[in-house]
Structures are given as C-alpha cells and as structure tokens.
C-alpha cells in the first residue's frame, strides 16, 4: 500500500504542469522588455561567437589562456540559450508558459550546470593567470595542452553529479501548492518554494551543494588573485606592475561581477520571502553580466582586438 502511494505521488509530480509567469504581470512594459532583452541576447550570441571563432582560427591565440576563454564563451552561449530564449518567446506572446515537470527539471538542470561550470572555469582561468604571472618560466610545462584539456574535462564531468545533487532534492518532493512560478525560467529557489512536505533535509542538501559549487571555486579564485596581487606589489617597476595588472584586470572584473550577484540567489536554504526579488536579481547574472563578459574580454585585451581586426580585414577583401 505504501509503495502504491509513493508511485501515485511520483506520477502526479511527473505529469503536472508548471505555469512560468515570466514578466506577464507587467503588461505595459512587455514590448519594451522584449526589445531590450532581444538586443542583449543577440549581443551575447554574436560577441561570444566571435570570441569562439577568433580563438580557434588565429594562430597567435593558441595559448592556454585563450583555450579556456574559448570554452568559457561556449558556456555563455549555452547558458543564455537555456534561460533567455524561452523568456523572449513569453514576452512575444505576452502570457505565461505551461511547462511539464520534465521540461522544468531539464531547464533547471542545464541552467545550474552551465552556471556552475562558469564558476569552475573562472577558477581555472584564475589559476592560469597565477601560473603565467607568478611562475612564467614553468608556464609551458605546467600548462601543457594535455593539462588544459584535462582541466576542462574534469570541470565538465564534476559538474554533472553536483547539479544532480541540487535538482534531485527539489523534484523528489511532491508539489501540492500553486504551480505558478513567479520567474522567467525554472530557477531553483522559486520552484523549491512550491514543494510541500518536510523539506528540511532537502534544503540542507541543496544549500550544501550550492556552497560546494560556488564557494569552493570562489575561494580558489580568491587565493590565485591574492598571490597575483602579492606578486605585483613586489615588482620593483611601476610600469611592470601596471602591465601585469592590466593583463588580468579584465578577468578579475568578470569574477567580481559574477560573484557579486549569483550567490545572493543560491546561497540560502530557503527562497527569499519576496518572490519579485529573485526575478529582479536574476537578470543581472543571466543577462547583464553575460552581455558585459565578452565586451570586457575583447575591449580590454589587445590580442583579441588585433585578431579581430585581422579577421575583419580578411573578410573585407
């Protein structure tokens, strides 16, 4: 009998549909938001695609730094396609969207996976900058092509079980309350709020995984940059300090922007009491930062701008 009840409860959760509210509650501004987010979405796709292209075809950019930047840009493209594309469709239709439990689970899983991999890639890129600046004589040995591939592979593989550890505790609970998600994609906190039953253990599990996936890469990134700054301050040449700091300042800017917003949403066991807060914060780390990242990487990096000019000159011939 008990097994039968569990099966029925599981079937209800699997067959149910969620209503993704999006921005349908602000009808007067939907066309304005559609225009803004469409421009930002196309900018993210175009800029990151250009970075992927030039880091693959330009011989001068075949270094570990640009190898990691290439994969980071691919992650950005995947992330915005998972989170923003559906939002644009909802704004165009001017109404909420019905999502099956499977579709919602898939979107949440991919969003957490791509966002978590960005944390890991930022830590790997920080370590790359540390080796290049603090141990330049052994850089080629430490950051061989094989090591770079291994770091990317290890980051990608390790993200899968960690994200499962975040999504499983949410969807293992029954959903017996309102199925309306006051958000523009199936994010963890607003969906968790709809679950009923004793969720204490599940909340602790989600919180522990979030700490592991966000704080550990953040601490590793902080240690790398702490050693870089210490090395810069020891340099006797003011010009040398300026050049070295300029080399990694764009990466540090991305790190500050990313970690200044995402932990606000995920590093809390229970969702924020104000549903609109999460919906207003989320565009910063899903849209605004994704728009700024490629521009920071291109405008603040001489190698990228030179390679881009060479590509444009070839296309204009």
Q: For the chain, how far is it from start to end, CA to CA, in angstroms?
A: 75
Give the CA count within 13 Å in the CB-facing half-sphere of 17: 7
Which is nearest to 119 in space by CA: 240, 311, 243, 267?
267
pLDDT tens digits for the chain (317 residues)? 334 434 444 444 444 788 887 776 666 777 888 888 888 889 889 888 988 988 888 888 888 888 988 898 899 899 888 888 878 887 777 676 778 888 888 888 888 888 888 888 888 988 888 888 888 888 888 888 888 899 899 888 888 887 887 788 787 778 776 678 877 788 877 887 787 776 677 777 777 777 777 888 888 888 988 888 888 777 776 666 666 666 667 677 778 777 776 666 665 545 444 555 556 666 666 777 777 777 776 666 777 888 888 877 877 76
Q: Which residue has the tokens 């009491």?
A: 273
Which is nearest to 194 in space by CA: 56, 13, 57, 49?
13
pLDDT at 244: 64
Mean pLDDT for all residues in the chain: 77
Are the C-beta atoms of 304 and 297 separated by less than 8 Å? yes
pLDDT tens-place string over residues 167-188: 887 877 787 766 788 777 888 7
Domains and CATH numbers, the chain: 2-316 (1.20.1070.10)
Regarding pTM above 0.85, the answer is: no
Residue 303, exposed/middle/buried by CB under 10 A (0-12, 13-18, 19+)?
middle
Alpha carbon 151 to its chain's center: 18
**Cβ neighbour number for residue 165 with a 10 Å cutoff:** 17
According to the 3-state scheme, what is the secondary structure of 72-118? HHHHHHHHHHHHHHHHHHHHHHCCCEEEEHHHHHHHHHHHHHHHHHH
pLDDT at 307: 82
Which is nearest to 293 in space by CA: 4, 9, 47, 82?
47
DSSP 184: S
pLDDT at 163: 83
pLDDT tens-place string over residues 58-99: 888 888 888 988 898 899 899 888 888 878 887 777 676 778
Q: Report the DSSP pairing between strands 17-20 and 180-181.
A: parallel
Are the C-beta atoms of 51 and 294 separated by less than 8 Å? yes
C-alpha 53/C-alpha 311 separation (Å) is 10
C-alpha 59/C-alpha 256 separation (Å) is 30
C-alpha 219/C-alpha 286 separation (Å) is 22
What is the SS3 assignment for 265? Answer: helix
pLDDT at 188: 79
* Helices assigned H by DSSP within the chain: 2-15, 30-57, 64-93, 101-134, 139-142, 145-171, 188-192, 200-210, 216-234, 238-259, 262-266, 275-283, 289-299, 302-316
pLDDT at 264: 60
Q: Report the DSSP pairing between strands 17-20 and 97-100.
A: antiparallel
Beta bridge partners of 18: 99
**Cβ neighbour number for residue 221 with a 10 Å cutoff:** 25
pLDDT at 270: 52
């Amino acid at each position: 009998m008990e097994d039968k009840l569990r099966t029925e409860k599981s079937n209800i959760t699997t067959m149910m549909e969620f209503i993704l509210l999006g921005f349908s509650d602000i009808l007067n501004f939907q066309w304005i938001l559609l225009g803004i987010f469409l421009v930002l979405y196309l900018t993210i796709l175009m800029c990151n695609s250009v970075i992927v292209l030039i880091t693959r075809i330009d011989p001068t950019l075949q270094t570990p730094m640009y190898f990691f930047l290439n994969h980071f840009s691919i992650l950005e493209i995947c992330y915005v396609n998972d989170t923003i594309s559906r939002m644009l469709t909802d704004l165009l239709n001017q109404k909420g969207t019905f999502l099956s439990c499977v579709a919602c689970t898939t979107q949440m899983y991919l969003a957490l996976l791509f966002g978590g991999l960005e944390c890991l890639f930022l830590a790997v890129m920080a370590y790359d900058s540390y080796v290049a600046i603090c141990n330049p004589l052994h850089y080629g040995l430490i950051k061989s092509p094989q090591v770079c591939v291994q770091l990317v592979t290890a980051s990608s593989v390790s993200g899968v079980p960690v994200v499962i550890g975040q999504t499983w505790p949410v969807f293992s609970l029954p959903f017996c309350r309102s199925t309306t998600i006051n958000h523009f994609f199936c994010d963890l906190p607003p969906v968790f709020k709809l679950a009923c039953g004793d969720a204490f253990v599940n909340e602790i599990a989600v919180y522990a995984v979030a700490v592991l996936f966000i704080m550990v890469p953040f601490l590793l990134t902080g240690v790398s940059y702490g050693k870089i700054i210490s090395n810069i301050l020891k340099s006797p040449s003011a010009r040398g300090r300026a050049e070295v700091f300029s080399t990694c300042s764009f990466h540090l800017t991305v790190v500050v922007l990313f970690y200044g917003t995402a932990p606000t949403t995920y590093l809390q066991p229970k969702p924020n009491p104000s549903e609109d807060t999460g919906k207003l914060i989320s565009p910063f780390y899903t849209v605004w930062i994704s728009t700024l990242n490629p521009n920071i990487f291109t405008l603040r990096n001489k190698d990228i701008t030179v390679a881009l000019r060479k590509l444009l000159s070839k296309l204009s011939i």
